[in-house]
Amino acid sequence: MDNALAIEIGRGLAIAGAGLAVGLGCSGSGKGIGIASQAVGGVLSEKPDLFGRLLVLLALPGTQGFYGFITAILIFVRSGLITGQMIITPGTGLALFVLGFGVGLALYFSAQWQGEASAASISLVARRPEAFGRSVILPAMVETYAVVALLVAILAINWLTASNDVTAFIRAH
């Protein structure tokens, strides 16, 4: 395969992976917050003084969007897109694509389920405001798995792109 074409394919796959990570993460967060905000709206129409507490529960599903953003930025930085030294082999590009897709899926579904968990906690706080401390733990448990996905993304991007420089690539070909 032509070197330039191989680099082009690798670059395309890596960018697509980054796009999926941020796209799915943000979509999931939007949906999760949407679910929770419906419940918040209903509770606030009866008890406006609970706004401060409910805002915390409402914001929790929003973190997945940021995790997707971090994953995408890491792929851009480590693949050399930002510095202009972008040398990605097709194999590494494919790995980054699959990684971005997998992380994106984890973020999408965890944000959605976290939205559901937040809505349940919002109902709990509406009935028993004193249970706020415990109610935050429920959606935070879902957050754990979004954090795990982010950690895997950070480590895998670092490992995959560790030998990613121009000379190594040219020598290999």
* Residues near another protein (CB under 8 A): 34-35, 37-47, 116, 119-120, 122-124, 126-128
34 or 91: CB nearest another protein: 34
13 or 125: CB nearest another protein: 125
- Closest contact distance (angstroms) between CB of 128 and another protein is 8
Residue 86 makes CB contacts below 8 A (sequence gap 6+) with 7, 11, 79, 80
- Closest contact distance (angstroms) between CB of 112 and another protein is 10
C-alpha–C-alpha distance, residues 50 and 40, integer Å? 9
40 or 88: CB nearest another protein: 40
- Closest contact distance (angstroms) between CB of 151 and another protein is 29
Helical spans, DSSP H, in 47-131: 51-59, 63-78, 90-127
Residue whose pair of structure tokens reads 């976290």 in the numeric block: 114
- Closest contact distance (angstroms) between CB of 105 and another protein is 20
Cβ pair 72, 81 in contact under 8 A: no
103 or 125: CB nearest another protein: 125
- Closest contact distance (angstroms) between CB of 64 and another protein is 17
Other Cβ atoms within 10 Å of 45 Cβ, number = 8
Helix axes 63-78, 90-127, angle to 10 degrees: 160
C-alpha–C-alpha distance, residues 152 and 25, integer Å? 15
12 or 129: CB nearest another protein: 129
